[in-house]
Each structure stands twice: as structure tokens, then as C-alpha cells.
Amino acid sequence: MMARPVTNPEPVLKARGLVKSFGRVVAMDGADFDLMPGEILAVIGDNGAGKSTMISALAGAVRPDAGEIFLGGEKVAFHSPMDARSKGIETVFQGLALAPALTIVDNLFLGREYRVPGVRGGLFRLLDRPRMREEARKHLSDLGLMTIQNIDQVVETLSGGQRQGVAVARACAFGSKVVILDEPTAALGVKESRKVLDLIKDVRDRGIAIVLISHNMPHVFEIADRVHIHRLGRRVAVVRPSEMTMSDAVAIMTGAMEPPAGQPAD
């Protein structure tokens, strides 16, 4: 047994040989995945390359037919998104998964509300609203998302960027290890995209590893530490934005160019 080199730490989230088919369509064909601690890993791939399926498997929304997923070195099997969430993997789905008619506080705590201690919370199921509001305010200001005049504002009255902000705040508010962001800037204008990218870097700097799925190459190359390139249901390369041009990455993604030799390393 050899000691692991210090330069090669254990991935926070790792997958080996994931397979998933839907009928005759093979969405994942032996996909591998490595997310290192404290990094932003972008996942790029053409439409239909199976990256959504892989992300869904990592988020617990899809159960792979074969293959293994490791969280912090430990083998895991997720039965639902809630399951993945309870183990520290938070996902901001493209649809945001916010309930528009509920308030910001309600949304932040949706599905994991606090109840007041004692009989009032136990027997009468009374919500601890003051505590939730206080924590909501704290999370939002930690991320520089304050101050909203009113955290009791309903989410549908917020702009797209503000909603994304709430969704990201929710994802990293509960001691999560990994945050998966699915196309976080897809629906946003230039100015709002910029703010969301800053927010993502900010979350990374707080020590949370981030998986970023995006079609926007300039965004990917601006904030990603490494780029995972997906093609035909599997990972074909992992590159550093500093070592490769955007057009080469796109060429590998579309199959116009062979991936660099020795890639992907296991």
C-alpha cells in the first residue's frame, strides 16, 4: 500500500463507470467524474451528450443502471434528491425549484423547516418562524445578498437574478459539501449573469466545491478551475482553462478534435 501523494487529494465527489439507458437510448456509457475539494468544476458537453443524466445521477434524481458514486471516498447510493441532499449534495436545478408564490424565507427552508422546541413544536407542529427569518437574513447577508427590504417578499416579485441568488443561498445554507448548479446564468441578462458568477466564486471561496453545468463558454472559462468535457455518454477529457483555448475545448466536445493524450487520468 502506498500513501497517497499530498498533491493528489481525494475527490469530494467521484463516480466510476456510470451507465444509464432509457429504452434504447444510452445516456451514460461508463461515465467517470471527479470533483476536487474547493474547486469550481465546469461540465460541458453537446446537447444529448448525457451530461444532464450524469448530473441527475450525482444529485440523486436518476438511479444509474451500473457504476459507483463516492462521496468523500465513501461509496454512496442515492435514492432521491432528498437523499443526496441529506448527505451534503445540493442541486440548483435549472427550473430553480423555488415555489414562486411563497416568500423568500419559506423557500429557503422549504422541505427542512424548523419547529419550535417542546410541545408546541412536537405536538402542534408549530414552525419556528423567528429562527428561520433570522437565519435567512444571516445566510443572505453572508453571501452579500442582503438587503432585501423584506425577506417576506414572495419570490415571484423578484428579478431572475435575485431568484437565482435565493436558490444559490438555499443550496449553500445548510452545511453542504457540494453544490451543483445547472445553467445558472441561462435565463439572465449580462449584468445579472455577472453578479451570479461573482456569487458562485464567493461560494467556492467559502470552501464549497461547485459543479457548474453551462453552455456559456466565456462564463465557463472565466470561473472554472477545471473543465470536464463530456461526449457520447462519457468523460473524454478534463482540462484547465489556462492550458487550453476555448475553441479547442469546443472541438473536443463536438468530436472535431481528439482529446489530449493521457486523458482522462484515473
Partner 1 sequence: MASNDLPQFASTDTRLSRRVINVLHGNPTIIPLFVLVLGLAVFSSVVGQRFFHPFNLSLVLQQVTIIGTVALAQTLIILTAGIDLSVGAIVVLSSVAMGRLAMDHDLPPGLALALGIAVGSGCGALNGFFVTMIRLPPFIVTLGTWSVFNALIQFWSGGETIRQQEIEASAPVLQWTGEALRMGAARLTIGSLLMLLLAGLLWYVLNRTAYGRHVYAVGNDPNAARLSGIATRKVLFTVYLLAGTICGFAGWLLIGRIGAISPLGGAMTNLDSITAVVIGGTSLFGGRGSIIGTLIGALIVGFFRNGLALAGLDVLWQEFTIGFLIIIAVSFDQWLRRIST
Strand partners, 75: 70
Q: Which of 58, 98, 249, 252 binds partner 1 (CB under 8 A)?
A: 98
| Nearest to partner 1 of 3, 123 (CB atom) | 123
Q: What is the CA radius of gyration of the chain?
A: 19
Least Å distance between CB 219 and partner 1? 15
| Nearest to partner 1 of 53, 252 (CB atom) | 53
Q: Does 134 bind partner 1 (CB under 8 A)?
A: no
Helices (H), the chain: 51-59, 81-86, 104-108, 119-122, 129-142, 160-172, 190-205, 217-223, 246-254
Q: Does 97 bind partner 1 (CB under 8 A)?
A: yes
Strand partners, 154: 103
Q: What b-and-e string marks burial along 213-242, b requiring 16 or more CB atoms within 10 Å of the CB? A: bbebbebbbebbbbbbbbbebbbbbbbebe
Placement of cell 453544490 in the chain: 179
Binding segment (CB under 8 A) for partner 1, from list 67-75, 188-196, 215-223, 239-247: 188-196
Q: Which of residues 141-160 bind partner 1 (CB under 8 A)?
A: 144-149, 152-154, 156-160
**Binding residues vs partner 1 (CB under 8 A):** 61, 80-82, 85, 91, 93, 95-103, 106, 110-113, 115, 124-127, 129, 140, 144-149, 152-154, 156-162, 164-165, 189, 191-192, 195-196, 198-199
